Structure 1
Amino acid sequence: MTDPDVSIIIPHRNQVRQLQSCLGRLIELGYDCHDIIVVDNGSTDSLDFISDYPVQLLHADKTASPYIARNLGIDSTENNIIALLDVNALVEPGWMESALELLNPDTILGGLPHRPDPRSLDAYQRFDYLYAVIDPEEDHPIAALPATNLFFYKSLWTAIGPFREVRSLGDIEWTKRANESGYQLLVDPDVQFKYPFKSGKAFTKKYRRLGGGKAENRSVPAPFWYVFKNLLPPSPHFVRRMHHKNIREKMGLSLIQVIALCYWVKLNYGIGATRYWILKTAPSHDG
């Protein structure tokens, strides 16, 4: 039996099919006994179907940012425990029960995506899985967590402050801020969900967006050096870490593919950051 004092918060923007699947899965597993809050972030698609689901619908239309939506959802609830869930995540049985066994007021807990079958993925998707998913077997402490699937107490969010209202990487900045303030970051492999990994143009777009997020969150102290170093080939350490994980996870990428995709990620981080700085410094034509 899970604690009823939980709010599941799902930011959404023009992903109707994914939202229907996400909500259907939560209901199928009985999690509709909790508060489910969908925060729409300026969709142009119709949301008339939402009345068919036992959820609360909020609107965060100020600007396109999932962190604005998450802040609004968290602020709107009086429940003690927050579960953040991406719209394209499909939770597995025992998802919440496993999380609540480990969660305490001083902890932020993340889940892990279900290991996909590499036979159903192309090289981009396999590498996206290897690079994007936290590796619980690495021996260094976790310094930040993505908001794809997070559990924490609302009191922690109040103490740390809200997410920065940015387009990308606001979750990394927020969890890093929490960690630096003494809160513990954990990942539990039993808090599991299915998640789609990016292919082709979507892969490239993702890593350019994340490069822009690094610039937007001011995590790049020297812009010129950041761009320059991302033009350089990937370091042996980066390649070795990805290839070791590739072998362990049996993703089937060749060493040449791993090297090429490590380089492609770096280049797109640099391109994304450069785009952000160009747009930020461009003169405004308003008025």
Structure 2
Amino acid sequence: MSTAPIKPTAPVDAVIIPHYNDIPRLERCLQALMQNDIAQTEIVVVDNNSPVSLDGVRAAYPKVRFIVESEKGAAVARNRGVAETTAQRLFFIDADCIPAHDWLTVGREISGRADLIGGRVDVFDETPAPRSGSEAFEAVFAFNFRKYIEVQGFSGSGNLLTRRDIFDAIGGFINGVSEDREWTMRAVAHGYSLIYEDRLQVSHPSRQDWPALKAKWCRTTREAYQLNGAGLVPRLRWAIRALMMPASAVVHIPKVLASDKLASPGESARAIATLIRLRCQRMIWMLQQAFGGPI
């Protein structure tokens, strides 16, 4: 008697991971995902045509789908990942993040609570102590997803859970702007709910030095200006915000001094120095933008 072939079960969940040229961190992310319950889950890595070969990673993780998207940008990569799967529940994570061992389990458990759910992002150092100024700054200030969601009304996509019907209804991420902020705010504007869940946890490495931190904030400032608007009134408002940057550094010094994440007075001092330096640099960038110049 012949036996009919067993049809593969369609995935219920999809994990979408944009990647470009960072194989060690991608491997670390995938290794952590393999510690999760990945039953009925499709893991999709969308590579932005990295100059290095991913053959070794493909061989090491046969359960992962690898797709090449030649158009650059994490927004395009995420959109391509969604298009490549039929799963109804969508988990977004970045290639340099490490999901907790129960990330998928918690996501499934809480998925009915809201249309979009952003989670906790802890910061860890990839270098030995003591922390540099950039690492100390990030330990205090980086990735406050609770504030992003509950105060500012958006979530990052390094730890985001949503559904395909929402994605289909409002469209994909947009390249060239702060795509995760814009996308989640667009969803909320369409009436979809957004909440923070502390148990949905991933970790992200801190920026190790000033050039890395500066590059991050230069990109963030460019993207934020795209959402600000280029008319006279928006540019004036942007210039006023720019001039407030040094004062905002002073306002945030007590937060550094009160933080239990810093191990020594030296780390606190380096964090404060970086805070002031960064806010002054952002003031310069923002004034350049307000007066029509590039950064």
Q: 2:34 aligned with 1:27, yes or no?
A: yes
Q: 2:243 aligned with 1:243, yes or no?
A: no
The equivalent residue for 1:284 is none
Q: How many residues align?
A: 275
Question: AA paired with 2:279?
Answer: K
The equivalent residue for 2:279 is 266
Compute the displacement of 1:207 (Å): 0.4
Compute the displacement of 1:229 (Å): 4.0
Q: 2:83 aligned with 1:112, yes or no?
A: no
Question: Does the CA contact (< 8 Å) of 2:149 and 2:155 recur in 1?
Answer: no
1:190-217 per-residue CA deviation (whole Å, 9 max, x = no partner) reads 1112210113210111001101111234
Q: 2:232 aligned with 1:226, yes or no?
A: no
Structure 1 or 2, whichever has the larger Rg, is 2
**1:115–1:202 CA distance, 2 compared to 1 (3 A):** closer
Structure 2: segments with no counterpart, 5+ residues: 1-9
Structure 1 distance, partners of 2:229, 2:52, is 34
Compute the displacement of 1:183 (Å): 1.7
Question: AA paired with 1:172?
Answer: R
Give aligned-pair identity as a percent.
Answer: 23
Structure 2 distance, partners of 1:257, 1:16, is 30
**1:115–1:89 CA distance, 2 compared to 1 (3 A):** closer
Structure 2 distance, partners of 1:130, 1:198, is 12
Question: 176, 182, 199: which one pairs with 1:173?
Answer: 182
- RMSD value, Cα: 3.2
Structure 2 distance, partners of 1:189, 1:5, is 23
Structure 1 distance, partners of 2:183, 2:272, is 31
**1:242–1:43 CA distance, 2 compared to 1 (3 A):** farther
The equivalent residue for 1:44 is 51
Question: Does the CA contact (< 8 Å) of 1:143 and 1:176 recur in 2?
Answer: yes
**1:91–1:133 CA distance, 2 compared to 1 (3 A):** same
TM score, norm. by length of structure 1: 0.81
Question: Does the CA contact (< 8 Å) of 1:125 and 1:198 recur in 2?
Answer: yes
Structure 1: segments with no counterpart, 5+ residues: 281-287
Q: Map of 1:97-246 to 2, 5 A cutoff?
A: 97-104=105-112, 106-114=114-122, 116=124, 121-134=131-144, 136=146, 141-166=151-176, 169-200=178-209, 201-218=211-228, 222-223=234-235, 226-227=238-239, 229-236=241-248, 239-241=250-252, 243-244=254-255
**1:60–1:212 CA distance, 2 compared to 1 (3 A):** same
Structure 1 distance, partners of 2:142, 2:230, is 19
**1:116–1:20 CA distance, 2 compared to 1 (3 A):** closer
Question: AA paired with 1:251?
Answer: L
Compute the displacement of 1:59 (Å): 1.7
Compute the displacement of 1:131 (Å): 2.4
Compute the displacement of 1:111 (Å): 1.6
